[in-house]
Amino acid sequence: MSTRQERPLGLLEKYQTSKQLTHAYGNITMTALLDHESIVSQPAETFYMQCFVPALTRLIHHHAALSMVVRDKTENSIHFEQLTSIDLDKVICIRSPLSLSLLIKEQTTTEFDLDSFLPLWRITIVPQTPTSCIVSLAMHHVLGDGMSLCIVWQALLQALQTIETKPTVDKVTIVKKMHLPLPYELSNAPEMSLLWDVVPVICKSLIPKILPTSIARRLDPLSSEGWQGDFKAAVDGETHDTQIGTIHVPLDIWKPLVEASKKRGISPHAILFVTMLLAWKRLYPGQTTETTTPINCRGLCQPAVSADRVGNFVGSYTGVWTGQQLDESEKDIWKMATRYHQDLQTNKKEAAKQALFLKYLPEFPASYCDFWYDKRKNSRLGRTGGLELSDLGRFHDPEATSSSWKLKQLYFAQSAQIFTCAFGLNTISVRDELYCTYGWQKGALDEAKIGLYHDIFIGILKNVPF
């Protein structure tokens, strides 16, 4: 198999690779339930290959990331190379029936081989009925972020709806030469101030390394007092094993909340964040936790990066919520949502700078891997803990009324991270309905307790006052 030399990995791309090198994280996935024309007149595999091979070929020719592989994964010379051809028969898997949650878990957890000559993405199709199927797109995070999954899925749906199928298809796609766009830090990302941005972070990172534990915990109480889950991490060397739950919020609940949010001048994301946090608070009353919200930074570059660029353009907004704050906030959910919305808007530019601190890690892969290992060593339960809300907002469904391909449901999910977040909620909305997955590392949480999260979450949304 031949390849073409491409550019070195950027900061976030090295960061995502180091997660696999430390066995800390799997993949990002987006899984859809689709309706299509009846296939009773031919084998299911024939039908799906006739539809998906030409559709995916179109995407490969448009998005350079889809033909990239990583080379020198454990060297400072780590870089991308472009495949000159892709055998889609090895990328598309049509398999026997499997439940939605088990499929998401499987695709989120099953790692890609960074040493192979296969693309770092795959499509798994699970036929449901003669007129429906579940399709899961799994992608290595080195290629792109959650928004990249949206970009690829929108293009895939459009291709399925517009490409004319043929009785025979060539499953081997010859890839034209394309250059991978520049990484985030070289795409006119926000600039950092050494004094105001860098020095405070460096000082905080040195606290657990140079001070006695008792003093360090007084200066950074979250490292010992913040919520980190229920059980201590397994022995060093454990690998990620993501557990997945799903939540569907129907139109009659979600649409009124979206409209009420807009009337109050805040985003639906804000009420979603509050609901996530209050549902957690019902299970873990009186506790303090850190929260993380990934930020899409394409629009924060100057000039803005194209909204349809596949890649890693992610910042991170963090906050800390005490049990007392949550008790007070629950009395007025809209007030809490408004506060969060305003804080998020005020701090978006600072959040966009967070990934840029990676340039102060002196070498790859050692410094990047130590970045993760230090979190285990310096945390009470072996992980920093906290909650993360990865909200992709509204999915723009390119539905063609004349097409037989109809998107019915869509779920975004990602791997658990064994060294950091203890609980993650991933959300996306389609035509005024909300689809959520929540994930955690096996053995980190009390599963009897977390099994209650679904009903608590829905119950809070149903009872939000208008």
- What tens digit of pLDDT does each residue of 194-244 get? 544 454 445 555 444 444 444 444 445 555 579 999 999 866 777 899 999
* Average pLDDT rounded to a whole number, residues 50-69: 97
CB 140 within 8 A of CB 112: yes
The candidate with the shortest Cα–Cα distance to 182, out of 295, 301, 67, is 301
Q: CA-to-CA distance for 341 and 423, rounded, in angstroms?
A: 21
Q: CA-to-CA distance for 197 and 53, rounded, in angstroms?
A: 47
- 253 & 272 share domain: yes
pLDDT at 195: 41
- 135 & 207 share domain: no
- Over residues 63-122, the pLDDT tens digits come to 999 999 999 999 999 999 999 999 999 999 999 999 999 999 999 999 999 999 999 999
- 157 & 73 share domain: yes
Residue that finishes a domain, picked among 144, 179, 214: 179
For residue 217, what are its two tokens?
């915990």
CB 345 within 8 A of CB 293: no
201 versus 318: the higher-pLDDT residue is 318
Strand order in 92-94's β-sheet? 92-94, 121-129, 132-139, 28-35, 406-414
- 355 & 407 share domain: yes
Residue range of the domain that includes 340:
186-462
Dihedral sign (CA 96, 98, 100, 102):
negative
- 201 & 167 share domain: no
pLDDT at 41: 83
- Over residues 179-200, the pLDDT tens digits come to 999 999 999 999 886 544 454 4
Q: What's the Cα-to-Cα distance from 35 to each of 46, 310, 404, rounded to whole Å?
A: 17, 26, 7
For residue 205, what are its two tokens?
């990172």
pLDDT at 1: 76
Q: Are strands 85-87 and 172-174 parallel, antiparallel or unpaired?
A: antiparallel
* The pLDDT of residue 297 is above 70: yes
* Average pLDDT rounded to a whole number, residues 293-320: 97
The candidate with the shortest Cα–Cα distance to 287, out of 230, 335, 218, is 230
- 165 & 197 share domain: no
For residue 291, what are its two tokens?
């929260």
Residue that finishes a domain, picked among 179, 207, 225: 179
* The pLDDT of residue 348 is above 60: yes
The candidate with the shortest Cα–Cα distance to 383, out of 272, 282, 310, 289, is 289
Q: CA-to-CA distance for 7 and 345, rounded, in angstroms?
A: 34
- 456 & 312 share domain: yes
Could you tell me the pTM of the whole model?
0.93
pLDDT at 70: 98
- Over residues 240-284, the pLDDT tens digits come to 999 999 999 999 999 999 999 999 999 999 999 999 999 999 999
Non-local (6+) Cβ contacts of 168 within 8 A are: none
- 156 & 35 share domain: yes
The DSSP output letter for 179 is P
- 141 & 221 share domain: no
* The pLDDT of residue 127 is above 90: yes
CB 419 within 8 A of CB 270: no
What does the mean pLDDT of the chain come to?
92
CB 179 within 8 A of CB 65: no
- 153 & 196 share domain: no
* The pLDDT of residue 460 is above 70: yes
Indicate the length of the chain as a whole number. 466
Residue that finishes a domain, picked among 149, 179, 209: 179
The candidate with the shortest Cα–Cα distance to 384, out of 318, 325, 336, is 318
* pLDDT-based confidence at residue 152 (cuts at 50, 70, 90): very high
**Could you tell me the CATH number of the domain that includes residue 173?**
3.30.559.10
**Could you tell me the CATH number of the domain that includes residue 439?**
3.30.559.30
Instruction: Please state whether 385 falls in left (phi above 0), alpha (psi between -120 and 50) or beta.
Output: left
**In the chain, how many domains are there?**
2
Name the β-bridge partners of 339.
Answer: none
* Average pLDDT rounded to a whole number, residues 118-137: 97
- 362 & 415 share domain: yes
- 94 & 164 share domain: yes
Highest mean pLDDT among 36-40, 374-378, 427-431 belongs to: 427-431
pLDDT at 114: 97
Render 259-280 in DSSP notation, one character per residue.
Answer: HHHHHTT--HHHHHHHHHHHHH
For residue 204, what are its two tokens?
């905080």
For residue 57, what are its two tokens?
């070929």
pLDDT at 216: 41
> Helices (DSSP H) in 297-444: which residue ranges?
323-329, 333-346, 348-352, 366-377
- Over residues 357-403, the pLDDT tens digits come to 999 999 999 999 999 999 999 999 999 999 999 999 999 987 655 56
The candidate with the shortest Cα–Cα distance to 107, out of 55, 50, 31, is 31
- Cα–chain center distance at 258: 22
